[in-house]
Amino acid sequence: MDVGLIAINWVERDGAMPTPLRPSASVAPPIWVDPMKTVVEFQDDAGDPSVWITTIASSQSRECFAQLFGRFAPRVKSYMLKLGARPELAEELAQETLLTVWRKAAYFDPSRASASTWIFTIARNLRIDAIRRERHPEDLIDEPELRPAETVRADDLMSAAEREDRLRGALKTLPKDQAEVVQLSFFHDKAHAEISTDLGVPLGTVKSRLRLAMVRLRAQLEDLQ
Amino acid sequence: MSIRHHPTEVVLAGYASGALADGPSLTVACHLDRCPACRGRVRLFEQVGGALLADTDQAAMGEDALARALASIERPAPAPAQRASSPAPQPISGVVLPSALARRGVGARRWVGPGIWVAPVRSNAADGWRTYLLRVPKGVAMPHHGHNGPEFTAVLQGAFHDEGSVYGPGDFSESGEGLEHHPAVEGDEACVCLLSGLGGVKATGLLRLVQPFIGV
Ligand SMILES: [Zn+2]
């Protein structure tokens, strides 16, 4: 029987889109914009991207959007390229990701996710849709699912941005073989069985390295509270 | 009954990174619907994805990229897309579907034996995965069969036992290529599962007789 109907739905992923927040009172640091040229001075790694997003939500700040674009569009493009997207598609997905950030900024909750985690989930979902569209151009895509926020747990007491800083540090301390498996899980458009052949190790080894890596990351996040 | 069987870290990582195929992702979503522990694991993987994105190198954008982006944010957002050709999801009496599944829509049930039905779930079949609901009444054992490829199962209601373990509501099971087994329904209730499999099953024994009707 035909159990394989064609798919069109957005694959929802937990935590991508919490409930909308009221416009936030937080204000972004002033950024110089030349009104004649619309050129924005980028100071990469300066400024807090979650403040940019909440300011976009509260006052549709084009300056904050430009800052965010400068910080994330080239990285989203790089992520897409690593996953095997053609350069034009990678550029388009980076554009779409930042456009979605602009449109959905009111759903961003900085206590729940860091800016880069939120942007990662948007980019990931757009990529899943793009792959589906390429295979089934006739399909229309649903709007992303807006999921209610989960109850705050003890480990959420640390702010999402702080948690991410620590996670970035912890990722750098992973043993090389574990770091490699973590990297490939995200920057490799392949199932783990294929990752294991690429690395020349059995699938069981990939599984245990990934499990060890996650145990270690979780432990480090908990230690640091 | 509490959940005892969870997806492996590898499966959860695939779900969080987007590498897992559509059908298996749906079975994971059914498990997550009931398992706060695994929702926490997926969140950690998503945070890892965010951290890797923040630290990844940068690919040069086109020269007019920012100008294009600033122009597109001035345009109104398009209205949400409507599904062109898919029928409205059908509620199935007596089965509570997790929201991930209810939104997808489940096709018409097809009765394949006394009290046994299968119903297709809308999913991306282009990648070869077949995803469907299977209901088996109490007291019934699946005939002995083998798997040609991996298969993921999420229990929605009831329970079954297989290879010495019992799987109840919310439990998740992953079987690999080459597995031969004959799971059987446990307890006094019919068992309803979401299955997603690649490569189909190899009928051995009795199943060869009914397989043409089940079509899995
Ligand atoms: Zn679980």
- From the CA of B38, how far away is ligand 1's center (Å)? 4
The residue count of chain B comes to 216
Interval B105-134: pLDDT, tens: 788 888 888 888 888 888 776 678 888 899
What's the CA dihedral at A21, A22, A27, A28 to 10 degrees?
30
Residues A36 and A108 in one domain: yes
| Both structure tokens of A222 | 């908990």
Domain around B182:
1-53+95-216
The span from the CA of B216 to the CA of B205, in Å, is: 15
Res A118: pLDDT: 95
Grade residue B42 by pLDDT with cuts at 50, 70 and 90.
Answer: very high
Res B211: pLDDT: 52
β-bridge partners, B113 = B116
User: B161, B86, B164, B158: which is closest to B116 by C-alpha?
Assistant: B158
Cβ–Cβ gap B58/A171 under 8 Å = no
Where would I find the beta strands (DSSP E) of A9-140? 33-34, 39-40
| Both structure tokens of B108 | 């018409």
The fraction of chain B above a pLDDT of 90, given in percent, is: 38
Interface membership of A211 toward B (CB under 8 Å): yes
- From the CA of B196, how far away is ligand 1's center (Å)? 18
Name the minimum distance, in Å, from the CA of B8 to any CA of chain A.
8
Please determine, for residue B146, whether its predicted confidence score (pLDDT) is greater than 80. Answer: no
CATH number at residue A12: 1.10.1740.10
Which string of DSSP letters, residue by residue, matches A181-216?
Answer: HHHHHHS--S-HHHHHHHHTS-HHHHHHHHHHHHHH
CATH number at residue A177: 1.10.10.10
- From the CA of B40, how far away is ligand 1's center (Å)? 9
Name the minimum distance, in Å, from the CA of B20 to any CA of chain A.
7
Res A125: pLDDT: 92
Grade residue B91 by pLDDT with cuts at 50, 70 and 90.
Answer: low
**H and E: helices and strands count for chain A:** 8, 2
Cβ contacts of A75 on chain B, cutoff 8 Å: 53-54, 56-59
Residues A72 and A40 in one domain: yes
Residues A199 and A109 in one domain: no
Residues A9 and A59 in one domain: yes
Last-in-domain residue among A100, A129, A156: A156
Cβ–Cβ gap A183/B52 under 8 Å = yes
Q: Which of A106-120, A159-173, B37-51, B194-208 shows the lowest per-residue confidence on average (mean pLDDT)?
A: B194-208
Residues A149 and A179 in one domain: no
In a domain, B61, yes or no: no
In a domain, B80, yes or no: no
In a domain, B68, yes or no: no
- Asked if residue B207 lies in contact with residue B170, where contact means CB atoms within 8 angstroms, the answer is no
Q: Between B214 and A3, where is the model more confident?
A: B214
Residues A116 and A183 in one domain: no
Residues A43 and A130 in one domain: yes
The span from the CA of A82 to the CA of B176, in Å, is: 29
In a domain, B204, yes or no: yes
Mutate to test the interface with A, among B8, B11, B17, B97 (most CBs of A within 10 A): B17
Which ranges of A108-202 does DSSP label H, i.e. alpha helix? 115-135, 160-172, 176-186, 192-199
In a domain, B84, yes or no: no
In a domain, B60, yes or no: no
Cβ–Cβ gap A4/B125 under 8 Å = yes
In a domain, A182, yes or no: yes
Grade residue B170 by pLDDT with cuts at 50, 70 and 90.
Answer: very high
Residues A144 and A211 in one domain: no
User: A57, A65, A72: which is closest to A31 by C-alpha?
Assistant: A65
Interface membership of A97 toward B (CB under 8 Å): no
Which of A15, A135, A136 is facing B46, going by the closest CB pair?
A15
Strand order in the sheet with B201-203: B180-181, B145-147, B201-203
Which of B51, B53, B86 is facing A8, going by the closest CB pair?
B86
- Asked if residue B9 lies in contact with residue A210, where contact means CB atoms within 8 angstroms, the answer is yes
Residues A188 and A78 in one domain: no
Q: What is the pLDDT along chain A (225 residues), one digit of tens a residue?
A: 333 332 222 334 543 444 444 444 444 444 444 444 444 444 455 688 999 999 999 999 999 999 999 999 999 999 999 888 899 999 999 999 999 999 999 999 988 889 999 999 999 999 988 887 776 544 433 333 333 334 444 445 567 888 888 899 999 999 999 999 898 888 876 666 677 777 778 888 888 999 999 989 988 887 654
Res A161: pLDDT: 82
Last-in-domain residue among A156, A191, A209: A156
Domain around A122:
3-156
- Other CB atoms within a 10 A radius of the CB of residue B127 amount to 16
ipTM reported for the complex, 2 dp: 0.82
- Other CB atoms within a 10 A radius of the CB of residue A217 amount to 23
Q: Work out how many domains chain B is built from and give that number.
A: 1
- From the CA of B37, how far away is ligand 1's center (Å)? 6
Those residues with Cβ within 8 angstroms of residue A151's Cβ, 6 or more apart along the chain or in another chain: none
Cβ–Cβ gap A82/B56 under 8 Å = yes
Residues A123 and A200 in one domain: no
- From the CA of B28, how far away is ligand 1's center (Å)? 9
Q: Work out how many domains chain A is built from and give that number.
A: 2
Residues A7 and A100 in one domain: yes
- From the CA of B112, how far away is ligand 1's center (Å)? 31
- From the CA of A54, how far away is ligand 1's center (Å)? 33
Where would I find the beta strands (DSSP E) of chain B? 110-113, 116-120, 129-136, 145-147, 151-157, 159-162, 165-167, 172-175, 180-181, 184-186, 191-198, 201-203
Residues A132 and A179 in one domain: no
Last-in-domain residue among A128, A156, A184: A156
Write phi, then psi, for B146 (nearest 5 degrees): -120, 160
The span from the CA of B196 to the CA of B121, in Å, is: 9
Res A157: pLDDT: 52
Cβ–Cβ gap A119/B16 under 8 Å = no
Which of B13, B16, B122 is facing A9, going by the closest CB pair?
B122
CATH number at residue B161: 2.60.120.10
Interface membership of B142 toward A (CB under 8 Å): no
The span from the CA of A84 to the CA of B61, in Å, is: 17
Name the minimum distance, in Å, from the CA of B189 to any CA of chain A.
25
In a domain, A164, yes or no: no
The span from the CA of B134 to the CA of B121, in Å, is: 11
In a domain, A166, yes or no: no
Cβ–Cβ gap B19/A190 under 8 Å = yes
Which string of DSSP letters, residue by residue, matches A22-38?
Answer: PPP---PPP--EETTTT
Name the minimum distance, in Å, from the CA of B179 to any CA of chain A.
17
Cβ contacts of A129 on chain B, cutoff 8 Å: none
In a domain, A187, yes or no: yes
Interface membership of B108 toward A (CB under 8 Å): no
Name the minimum distance, in Å, from the CA of B138 to any CA of chain A.
24
In a domain, B214, yes or no: yes
What's the CA dihedral at A118, A119, A125, A126 to 10 degrees?
160
Interface membership of A105 toward B (CB under 8 Å): no
Mutate to test the interface with A, among B12, B58, B90, B135 (most CBs of A within 10 A): B58
In a domain, B180, yes or no: yes
Cβ–Cβ gap B48/A171 under 8 Å = yes
Res A140: pLDDT: 37
